[in-house]
Amino acid sequence: MIDREVELLAIGAGPSNLALAVALEELAPKDLAANSLIIERAAAVEWQPGLLLPWAKSQASFLKDLVTLRNPQSEFSFLNYLFTVGRLDDFINMASFTPYRQEISEYFKWVANSLSMVSLKLNCGCTAVEPRRNAHGRLTGWLTRLADGTTVSSRYLVIGTGRDQYVPPVFAGVPARHLVHSTQYRPLVAGLDKEYPYRVAVIGSAQSAAEMFRALQTDLPHSQIAWVMRSIGIGAYEKTKFTNELYYPSYVDDFFEGHPDGREQLLREMHRTNYSGIEPPFVEDLYCEVYLDRLTKQERKKIITMTDINAATATADEVTLQLADRRTGAVTELHRDLVFLGTGFVREMPALIRRLGDALGLDEIQANRQYRLILDEPSSAACYLQGVNDATHGIGDPLLSVVACRAGDIVHDILAHRDGMADGGGEAHSMEPLVSAGTRT
Ligand SMILES: Cc1cc2nc3c(=O)[nH]c(=O)nc-3n(C[C@H](O)[C@H](O)[C@H](O)COP(=O)(O)OP(=O)(O)OC[C@H]3O[C@@H](n4cnc5c(N)ncnc54)[C@H](O)[C@@H]3O)c2cc1C
């Protein structure tokens, strides 16, 4: 049974699909924009809420907002947001291109509230997506199953759910009461007793681990913090204005046209510009904090480098981490109340998309240049993937850098597809009766 039918359903109200909503309002005819729905499993529109820390700043220029790079005249720009809420003078006076993360998050919420045609539904998690077929087995749409047991049918689907969190296998047996992925940091810590002297470990050496390491010092001020990492120490992102050009939306074409070897080199050499490191000024701040800790002999913070975690076992009261020193081979134990994982995200496609790929019988999940999932069958439906196409669309794909232009690309492709003009697959929509939701007949 279908509970609701829309022409376009977008899953996830992060920046990718909010940019899509803006592009729909600005570029699509009213009958499409007004028949588009975004669903979001959270209770509010918030940007990366797990690490929405008061002092954390965006790493992208405010000009890489939801729309400016596509349409600098848009009313949905960050600058218009600042103007509308009366903070433009203050922001200019701060003289920074990188706003606080909480300010960008407020901007996203303002955009969501400013939409006049596209609808948004919060507290609405999707659990599965299935292909819909007509009586002849032809793919004609998608059936999206929601956490409350209802379904939404759509001809177009845009998946913008971010990536799945990565929990290293060694932690598989550790219960959730001892284990906190960075995506859950804020809500979890808010429920803890601030006065308790927790023994905590932070795992990983990149930005999210560093942010938790810093935040824990004020959020749990009496805790003993051990920061455990495999690397030789905390490194900074290695980027220059030259390599930053590879994050331009215009670079997507160059990357997409590249040979596999060329793409591989680009991703490998660009890795340290955004991963496995920390923003350079933050490295300085962290070092000062650790220095002060040693100077004042508080010794509450310990950084344990070149160390593998071989095992993690939990009892009712604590987790025991078995640490293996890569330099000496020595194995020791670390007993902790809580383990905070700054271990990032799974590199492969999110499980929701992989399951859809299985249902479609696809050997490989790939998007074309317009971010449309490549199907190996004729179809009058289309599905678009946002933020998970780094392998084909470049290092900027999961970042704010491309959201504005990508949203425009997707909307233009949908409009062409609707008219039967899209490259490789657009067909006029058949209104034949639908009989099945599930694998291909
Ligand atoms: C802590 C942190 C800081 C970052 N800082 C920056 C930065 O400064 N600059 C930058 O360019 N990039 C940054 N990034 C990268 C980040 O991925 C992008 O900025 C951006 O958030 C990607 O947008 P998105 O909409 O694709 O995904 P997300 O922002 O992850 O949004 C996905 C949305 O989908 C929702 N969702 C997920 N599953 C479901 C489901 N099954 N049903 C319904 N809704 C669902 C989620 O609740 C979420 O709201 C940061 C990432 C992290 C983790």
* Per-residue pLDDT tens listing for the chain (441 residues): 789 999 999 999 999 999 999 999 999 999 999 999 999 999 999 999 999 999 999 999 999 999 999 999 999 999 999 999 999 999 999 999 999 999 999 999 999 999 999 999 999 999 999 999 999 999 999 999 999 999 999 999 999 999 999 999 999 999 999 999 999 999 999 999 999 999 999 999 999 999 999 999 999 999 999 999 999 999 888 889 999 999 999 999 999 999 999 999 999 999 888 888 888 889 999 999 889 988 988 778 999 999 999 999 999 999 999 999 999 999 999 999 999 999 999 999 999 999 999 999 999 999 999 999 999 999 999 999 999 999 999 999 999 999 999 999 999 999 999 988 776 554 444 333 333 333 332
Give the distance (Å) from ligand 1 centre to CA of residue 387: 9
Q: Which residues of 286-298 are buried (b: 16+ CB within 10 A; e: fewer)?
A: beeebeebeeeee
- From the list 409, 366, 405, the residue with the least C-alpha distance to 389 is 366
| Nearest alpha carbon to residue 414 among 57, 131, 69, 21 | 21
Q: Give the strand pairing for 36-39 and 301-304.
A: unpaired
Q: Is the CB of 385 under 6 A from ligand 1?
A: no
Residue to probe by mutation, ligand 1, list 16, 48, 57, 96, most atoms within 8 Å of CB: 48
Q: How far is CA 391 from the centre of its chain?
A: 16
Residue 274 pLDDT = 85
Ligand 1: which atom is nearest the Cα of residue 57?
8
Question: What are the DSSP E strand ranges found in 170-273?
Answer: 179-181, 199-203, 224-228
Atom of ligand 1 nearest to the CA of 388: 26
Question: Ligand 1 centre from 213 Cα, in Å?
Answer: 21
How far is residue 35 from each of residues 25, 87, 289, 366, measured CA to CA in Å? 11, 34, 52, 27
The pLDDT, as a whole number, for residue 273 is: 85
Judge if the beta carbon of residue 208 lies within 6 A of ligand 1: yes
186 lines ligand 1 (CB under 6 A): no
* Residue 409, both tokens: 């690309």
Regarding the beta carbon of 368 and ligand 1, being less than 6 Å apart is answered no
Q: How far is the CA of 370 from the centre of ligand 1 (A)?
A: 20
Q: Is 42 in the pocket of ligand 1 (CB under 6 A)?
A: yes
Structure token digits, residue 423:
């490259």
Give the nearest ligand 1 atom to 396 CA: 11
Phi, psi of 395 (to 5 degrees): -60, -25
Q: Which residue lies with its CA nearest to atom 12 of ligand 1?
A: 399
What pLDDT does residue 436 have?
Answer: 34
Q: Is the CB of 161 under 6 A from ligand 1?
A: yes
d(CA 73, CA 67): 9
Q: Is 342 in the pocket of ligand 1 (CB under 6 A)?
A: no
Residue 14 alpha carbon to ligand 1 centre in Å: 5
125 ligand 1 Cβ < 6 A: yes
Apex 361 CA angle, 359 and 363, nearest 5: 125
pLDDT at 424: 58
Which pLDDT score is estimated for 1?
Answer: 72
Q: Are 36 and 185 in contact (CB under 8 A)?
A: no
CB 219 within 8 A of CB 193: no
Separation of CA 46 and ligand 1 centre (Å): 9
pTM summary value: 0.94
Distance (angstroms) between ligand 1 centre and the Cα of 398 equals 8
At residue 265, the 3 state secondary structure works out as helix
| CA of residue 157 to ligand 1 center, whole Å | 18
- Measured distance CA(393)–CA(341) in Å, rounded: 28
Rounded to the nearest angstrom, the distance between the alpha carbon of 47 and the centre of ligand 1 is 6
Contact status, residue 367 vs residue 425, Cβ threshold 8 Å: no
Q: E-strand spans in 280-409?
A: 301-304, 307-314, 319-325, 331-336, 338-341, 382-385
Q: Are strands 319-325 and 224-228 parallel, antiparallel or unpaired?
A: unpaired
The CA 329 to ligand 1 mean position distance, Å, reads: 38
Q: How far is the CA of 16 from the centre of ligand 1 (A)?
A: 8
